């Protein structure tokens, strides 16, 4: 059974705060997809998430490098597949080896390689709302994802 939980954020500070809170929910091996158009808050959320985990350095979108890796108590692999032209680029880059039981993997633009990616524990959907805010919806696809939502709610 899947669970869903939705939030509305009015500005980037609230999106950062939600990301910080989300950091308390994750565990080793989590696979998280961030889904949303450009400018909907995925990178801002990721910055808050990393702050919540205690990372104080610069958190940037890996749009050009494809992968930013952060080593804390957990290893966080942050992928951005925006520039992918084909899902084979995921396999060609050897990124499958990062999906394991110890690292936390966060993938932006997962639809660019959806046919070769495993099912995530959780997908976070970001939608721009006309008034300037963001709708952020969490949807679990595994028992690990359900636990994340239970902790967040």
Q: pLDDT by residue (tens digit) across 141-152?
A: 999 999 999 999
Strands 122-128 and 134-140, sheet pairing: antiparallel
**CATH of 4-152 among 3.30.70.3270, 3.20.20.80, 3.40.50.300, 3.30.70.1710:** 3.40.50.300
What is the Cα–Cα distance from 72 to 133, expressed in whole angstroms?
Answer: 31
* pLDDT at site 40: 87
pLDDT at 2 over 90: no
Burial per residue of 19-33, b for 16 or more beta-carbon CB atoms within 10 angstroms, e otherwise: bbebbebbeeebbbb
């Amino acid at each position: 059974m899947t669970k869903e939980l939705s939030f509305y954020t009015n500005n980037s500070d609230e999106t950062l705060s939600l990301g910080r809170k989300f950091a308390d929910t994750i565990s080793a091996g989590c696979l998280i997809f961030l889904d949303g158009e450009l400018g909907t808050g995925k990178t801002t959320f990721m910055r808050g998430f990393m702050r919540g985990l205690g990372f104080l350095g610069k958190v940037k979108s890996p749009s050009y490098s494809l992968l930013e890796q952060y080593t804390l108590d957990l290893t966080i692999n942050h992928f951005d597949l925006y520039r992918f032209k084909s899902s084979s680029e995921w396999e060609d880059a050897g990124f499958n080896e990062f999906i394991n039981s110890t690292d936390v993997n966060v993938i932006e633009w997962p639809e660019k390689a959806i046919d070769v990616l495993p099912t995530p524990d959780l997908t976070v959907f970001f939608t721009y709302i006309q008034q300037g805010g963001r709708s952020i919806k969490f949807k679990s696809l595994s028992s690990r994802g359900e636990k994340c939502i239970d902790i967040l709610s």
